[in-house]
């Protein structure tokens, strides 16, 4: 099949998804649910894709890949700044490819489209055929069941993510430590509460995370469980850092280079931590691992702006005429400022992110 014919196939699926009722309803839900947690967004996206696998007509893995890719392009337009949605789409695409490979291996053969001949799998064959991509055109009766099983496993993994991260708390939090965090992260909240519940005694300093100041809610939740908690302003982070044993923060996304797309103010906190030789631990589920590269000077590529009224009142008419007031929601934190990632799979250094990417996503799916 020529490239033009392949492109036209994908365009047909794109056109169908652009007018699909289920997809458009889901997009509307995403737009209206502006405060939906990232884990809830990931779960809703997986459920939608599972419905596509179950209810839509397709025969080969190739058709299913095109169907999911077309649906993903539509879904991403609803929340372009939310990387979790794209992550789950690309993860399911990888699961479809793995399911197809599993069907091929069950026959003791490799795909004809990838090799041109039928030979047994081996490390040497995988290396020699690395540049050749399977066409995913074979028809397997059990392919749908395998894909559904893998998607269900992904849902179960997502459901247990916070618990699996919290279970590692005793490995990283020790008695009488002073820990600093930023804003309100449910993952970090559960992590700290789990350590306290298992007998660890420590002091948590919460930077309020202006202008939203959601750190106050975080401090209230921690204090209610008996954890010694202190709230500070963001301006006091550097002054207090000398007393801190470690920094533990959450993030919205872990980028392909090991950097973070974290709450505004995280970059300054990590810089202060490096100046005082304080380790920075980042708690994030694998569903936040994103196969994209970003950098601090390319703000338009990843950042979003909040309402400026949080920074300056609209009543200050004179000032608003002379000053541009920006309220960025995220900070890019480069990987050299991060000591360790704590995910549901365990702890990994930022330099290991490339390996996790190769396990969770296929390189052909990095861009939908």
Q: Is the pLDDT of residue 127 over 50?
A: no
Q: Is the pLDDT of residue 99 over 90?
A: yes
Residues 246-257, mean pLDDT to the nearest whole number: 92
Q: Which residue did the predictor score with more confidence, 129 or 334? A: 334
Contact 155, 141 (CB under 8 A): no
Would you put residue 41 in left (φ > 0), alpha (ψ -120 to 50) or beta? alpha
Q: Is the pLDDT of residue 34 over 90?
A: no
Residues 1-6, mean pLDDT to the nearest whole number: 49
Q: Running DSSP on this structure, what letter comes out for residue 305?
A: B
Task: Give the whole-angstrom CA distance, residue 97 versus residue 64.
Answer: 10
Residues 250-261, mean pLDDT to the nearest whole number: 90
Tens digits of residue pLDDT in 292-342: 877 555 556 666 776 666 666 666 655 556 677 777 778 889 999 999 999
Average pLDDT of the residues of the chain: 84
Residue whose structure tokens are 């397709």: 58
pLDDT at res. 35 = 75
Task: Give the whole-angstrom CA distance, residue 285 versus residue 132.
Answer: 32
Task: Give the whole-angstrom CA distance, residue 176 versus residue 221.
Answer: 20
Cβ partners under 8 Å of residue 145, min gap 6: none
Would you put residue 116 in left (φ > 0), alpha (ψ -120 to 50) or beta? left
262 burial type by CB count under 10 A (0-12 exposed, 13-18 middle, 19+ buried) = buried
What is the percent of the chain where pLDDT is above 70? 83
Between 15-29, 201-215, 260-274, the lowest mean confidence (pLDDT) is in: 15-29
Residues 104-129, mean pLDDT to the nearest whole number: 53
Torsion of CA 73, 74, 79, 82, to 10 degrees: -30
Q: Running DSSP on this structure, what letter comes out for residue 289?
A: B
């Amino acid at each position: 099949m020529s490239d033009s014919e392949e492109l036209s196939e994908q365009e047909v699926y794109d056109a169908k998804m652009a007018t699909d009722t289920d997809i458009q309803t889901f997009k509307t839900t995403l737009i209206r649910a502006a405060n939906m947690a990232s884990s809830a967004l990931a779960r809703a996206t997986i459920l939608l894709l599972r419905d596509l696998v179950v209810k839509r007509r397709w025969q080969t893995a190739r058709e299913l890949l095109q169907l999911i890719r077309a649906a993903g392009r539509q879904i991403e337009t609803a929340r372009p700044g939310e990387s979790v949605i794209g992550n789950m789409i690309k993860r399911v695409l990888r699961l479809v490819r793995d399911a197809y490979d599993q069907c091929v291996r069950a026959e003791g053969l490799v795909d004809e489209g990838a090799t041109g001949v039928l030979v047994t799998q081996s490390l040497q064959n995988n290396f020699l055929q690395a540049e050749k991509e399977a066409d995913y055109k074979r028809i397997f009766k059990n392919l749908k069941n395998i894909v559904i099983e893998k998607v269900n496993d992904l849902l179960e993994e997502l459901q247990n993510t916070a618990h699996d991260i919290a279970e590692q708390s005793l490995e990283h939090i020790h008695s009488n430590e002073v820990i600093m965090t930023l804003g309100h992260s449910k993952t970090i909240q559960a992590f700290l509460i789990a350590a306290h519940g298992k007998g660890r005694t420590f002091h948590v300093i919460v930077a309020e995370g202006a202008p939203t100041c959601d750190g106050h809610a975080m401090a209230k939740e921690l204090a209610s469980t008996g954890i010694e908690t202190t709230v500070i302003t963001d301006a006091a982070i550097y002054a207090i850092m000398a007393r801190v044993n470690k920094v533990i923060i959450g993030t919205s996304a872990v980028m392909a280079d090991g950097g973070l797309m974290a709450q505004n103010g995280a970059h300054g906190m990590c810089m202060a931590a490096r100046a005082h030789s304080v380790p920075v631990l980042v708690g994030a589920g694998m569903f936040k691992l994103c196969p994209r590269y970003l950098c601090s000077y390319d703000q338009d590529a990843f950042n979003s702006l909040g309402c400026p009224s949080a920074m300056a009142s609209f009543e200050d008419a004179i000032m608003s005429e002379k000053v541009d007031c920006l309220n960025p929601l995220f900070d890019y934190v480069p990987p050299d400022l991060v000591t360790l990632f704590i995910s549901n799979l365990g702890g990994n250094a930022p330099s290991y992110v490339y390996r996790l990417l190769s396990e969770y996503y296929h390189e052909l799916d990095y861009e939908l």
